[in-house]
Amino acid sequence: MRSFLFSLLLLTPTCLAAAEPAPQGDWIPLFNGKNLDGWEVKIRGHKPGDNFADTFRVKDGLLQVRYDGYDKFGERFGHIFYKDKLSNYRLRVEYRFVDEQVPGGPGWAFRNSGVMIHGETPEQMELDQSFPTSIEVQLLGGDGSKDRTNANLCTPGTNVVMNNKLFLPHCTSSHSKTYHGDQWVRVEIEVRGNKLVRHLIDGESVLEYTQPQLDERDAHARTLIVDGDKMLSGGTISLQSESHPIDFRKVELLKLDD
């Protein structure tokens, strides 16, 4: 969500070993390939459910984010939320960036999108709120020449614990390679409630952390703290629209035991 160049200046975790094989079970498609049933849109400046300019749409079996109805981006950051709150799961998305960024999109949002987990609901967001309070797994594409890691971490209104310390930087780079062009990329997120979150690309762990929590420094996040408990053990899942067109061909969930 902040520029990748900024994130390079932040602390990064120690190298991670390859992840264990994915738990066996039945993967549940959250996106049916036909329509947006089970999902709700929230775009900055618009009420929940208002899919401004058909930003999120389905075509040729793909969940698409498009901006042909925009004259300029106008900071209309958007998200499409899955209907259920979830706590323990493995989420798998396959995506690709396409075409050109819409005029007026910020430079850092070039080939930039994300999957938000442990998030608030669209109804809890303020009308002009750009991003839900959540944990973001950044989806990033390269420009064809420069290195740019993928499946990074950003924390709108939140913090995590990394290397046994409360970790306050907003964005943190992973250890992934760069994915240039319009290629399909598979990102998985393993979520174990409040205990562990792991980012994986093509089965390899590239970043992990523990104890996702609300940030008491953030005014809106403070309104979400109940009875003094700021720890996040579950929440919504959403996909971003940040000004660069993107396709999703799979959004699948594997439920895990508590």
The pLDDT of residue 4 is: 41
Chain segment 57-70, per-residue pLDDT in tens = 999 999 999 999 99
**pLDDT surpassing 50 at residue 8:** no
Q: 258 burial class (0-12, 13-18, 19+ CB within 10 angstroms)?
A: exposed
Provide the residue range defining the domain that includes 124: 4-255
Task: Look at the chain and report how many structural domains it folds into.
Answer: 1
Other Cβ atoms closer than 10 A to 99? 13
The pLDDT of residue 156 is: 98
Of 1-10, 25-34, 168-177, 205-214, the least confident: 1-10
pTM, to two decimals: 0.90
Q: Find the largest Cα–Cα distance for the chain.
A: 49
Q: What is the CATH number for 185? A: 2.60.120.560
Q: 93 burial class (0-12, 13-18, 19+ CB within 10 angstroms)?
A: buried
Backbone dihedral angles phi then psi of residue 52, each to the nearest 5 degrees: -50, 130
Chain segment 209-249, per-residue pLDDT in tens = 999 999 999 999 999 999 999 999 999 999 999 999 999 99
Amino acid making up residue 112: N
Distance CA 174, CA 168 (A): 16
